[in-house]
Chains A and B, each alone.
Chain A
Amino acid sequence: MTGHRTQNTDKKSPGSGFRALSSISRPVIIALWLALLFLPFKGIKAASILFAVLSTFIFLLRFLLDYIKPLKEKLHDARAHLTKRLRITSFQTEGASLIIRYLLLLFIISVPFFARDYFIDIAILAGIYIILAQGLNVVVGFAGLLNLGFVAFYAIGAYAYALLNTKLGLGFWTSLPLSVGLVTLSGFILAVPALRLRGDYLAIVTLGFGEIVRLVLNNWDSVTKGPNGIGGIEPPYLFGISLNGLSHYYYFILVFVALSVFIVRRVYVSRIGRAWVAIREDEIASSSIGINTTAYKLYAFAFGAFWAGVAGVLFAAKMRFVSPESFTFMESVLILCMVILGGLGSIPGVILGAIILVMLPEMLREIQLYRMLALGSGLVLLMIFRPQGLFRSSPLTRAVLRGGKGVSFRS
């Protein structure tokens, strides 16, 4: 990755004489071009303002980049130096990170005591998304299979609980294993044919699966009540207490989040997890050392679907209402964004990614209209400037690949 990056920048930087001229004319040309593109949608006045803003912006950006470049190199050297020294006294940083961890844990546990209901509500939602993102991370991050219809499993889980509860009157604890079992089974059913396909074909078939599930939910009126959705779902009972209070449910979700992180982590460092990483890195090589690639890909799909099912049941129990609107393609994209923002294959990264992408839209309520614009352009920028996400892949991956090339996504 980094090798390519430096090569590209070297190639781009033109000679110094040309640079002086182009540093003024190029931003103007680029800005003019972009402003012209926006012209039909914005009108002449807005386009000319855009032109003025863009040209100054690009000019400043180039100037800054030129200025920052040597500075950044210096900083990089200093950091390398520092980490070298820190390694000697690593027990100190370990102690510090332990304290930070305990403080974080304390904060998470004490949230319902000081936070407003609104915040707890969002935190619960974040918890559900963390479980979802963990599931997708298994499929995309660990095994390297791009699933663009992940939301289908989430939907099946939610609807399974909704139907079992409202039609058959089954309680949460009976429905949970049934629903999750059903979702895992549907993961298997999709995976068996789909895994014969490579890369992009797999992506598009999973996308199709997601759309089919949504269309069925939307049109099968006699069972799913179509676009109206199913309401009146019971919250879970625990020791005879109904968990309908926000703080109750917060802890309830917290337990599930902790379980999901724990289990996914254990599986990741097991033989199965290592097989997934091997398949992601090079399918042919891993099958030649005796890994049954089809079986392991199947496990990844079903295991990912399992967590989507859990999240779906929790979602239905929290909202006490499900409708097809919650399970669109955009939702799949959002979950994928969480995984990618956090860092493919990194468990802490994915947790952070989910939290950020749930919290951010809530914080940006004032500029609500523009937040999808920001999400779209943010994705592009993220891919260009930090494709590995906030966290690099976890230590296991690095240990597996020590001395090898960087983590790549090949499918």
Chain B
Amino acid sequence: MFVQQLINGLTVGGVYALIALGYTMVYGILELINFAHGEIYMLGAYLGIIFLGFFTAIGLTSYSLPLALILTFVLSIIFCSSYGFTIEKIAYKPLRNAPRLSPLISAIGVSIFLQNYVMLTQGATDKVFPHLFEEAGFEASSIRVTYIQLFIIAISAFLMLFLHLFITKTRMGKAMRAVAQDKVMASLVGINIDTVISVTFAIGSGLAAVAGLMVAIYYGLVNYSIGYIAGIKAFTAAVLGGIGSIPGAMFGGIFLGLVESLSAAYISSEYKDAYAFIILIIILLIKPSGLFGKSHDEKV
């Protein structure tokens, strides 16, 4: 029972971590709660359904399922990255020097727009994700691990590693860290801030797309409103780990997933969604800068 919940928690936690990374990267650079990020995740799930439906219609899925899946992932990532990029250009960039509240409201506006756009074009009811795999998996003394769960955990781990290497080893990653530290100084040493911000949004959205697709495969159902609650939880995960900190977001996501599935199993599943917030409040009261965050005094 316990191990089973651990594995379930790890699966969900990996997904939360992927979304949380997008929040934390954007917050690290712009100090903006990107409320529309949850919607990108939702769009990723819907794009998965749309593209897979298209591939099934042209017969690619029956020809080669892995190829169709890979193409779906790639297309979803490309589209979601473009959405993230475009949203930043339209809704956040004009507000870069505005008071703090303005971009936040703008983000809420984008979120409402995307949610309702998807509801209008795709319908308000749950959409079923095409059933592709057998519910196969390992089974050992009442513990069941499906291949989908393994797939999700592996992909999450791989992407986190990839992102970590990108941030620490590449030139662009270095530029991102520099911009996060000090925008003005970074621009003085010749870093193009706009490019860095665009890349950040594109990467974050790409990760959210993967998360959305994997959740769609895992649960088999997609709804236009999934972005809101997942977004809030992922943000909680990001805050938990210390917002702006990338390892913090990874840890926070997995921790949140574990706590959620364990407490749903042992305490009460009705309040599953509330645990995230209760943990958030407790953590912020004990350590307001999050587990991995650096606390810094406000400058005059």
Contacts and interface: CB of A to CB of B under 8 A. Distances in A.
A223 to B, nearest CB: 14
A5 B280 CA distance: 37
Interface string A357-378: 0000000000001101101111
Contact of B95 (A203, A333, A377, A384): A384
Given A199-B100, A208-B280, A333-B112, A384 B106 contact: yes
B228 A329 contact: yes
A310 B266 CA distance: 39
A215 B271 contact: yes
Given A4-B97, A193-B285, A196-B288, A203 B104 contact: yes
Interface of B: 27, 31, 33, 46-47, 50-51, 79, 82-83, 86, 90-91, 94-95, 97-106, 108-118, 120-122, 228, 232, 235-236, 239, 243, 270-271, 273-274, 276-278, 280-281, 284-285, 288, 298, 300
B112 A372 contact: yes
Most A C-beta atoms less than 10 A away, residue of B101, B114, B117: B101
Given A4-B98, A409-B99, A198 B109 contact: no
Interface stretch (A32-40, A77-85, A270-278, A317-325): A32-40
Contact of A41 (B95, B102, B121, B228): B121
A198 to B, nearest CB: 7
A42 interface: yes
A146 interface: yes
B33 to A, nearest CB: 5
18 contacts: A4-B98, A33-B82, A33-B86, A40-B50, A201-B288, A204-B33, A208-B276, A211-B274, A211-B277, A212-B274, A215-B274, A219-B270, A283-B298, A340-B101, A344-B101, A383-B105, A384-B106, A387-B102
A329 B111 CA distance: 12
A208 B82 CA distance: 30
A121 B40 CA distance: 38
Interface string A278-303: 00000111000000000000000000
B118 A387 contact: no
A207 interface: yes
B83 A37 contact: yes
A87 B174 CA distance: 57
A240 B281 CA distance: 46
B104 to A, nearest CB: 7
Interface in A381-396: 382-384, 387
Given A373-B120, A383-B103, A40 B51 contact: yes
A215 B272 CA distance: 9
A341 to B, nearest CB: 10
A208 B280 CA distance: 8
A198 B298 contact: yes
Contacts of B121: 41-42
A152 B109 CA distance: 21
Contacts of B288: 196-198, 201
A304 to B, nearest CB: 16
Most B C-beta atoms less than 10 A away, residue of A219, A369, A383: A383
A410 B100 CA distance: 6
A411 interface: yes
A211 B99 contact: no
A213 to B, nearest CB: 10
A215 B273 contact: yes
Report, nearest first, the 5 A-B pairs whose CB atoms are least far apart. Answer: A379-B109, A376-B113, A208-B277, A376-B112, A409-B99
Contact of B113 (A41, A201, A212, A380): A380
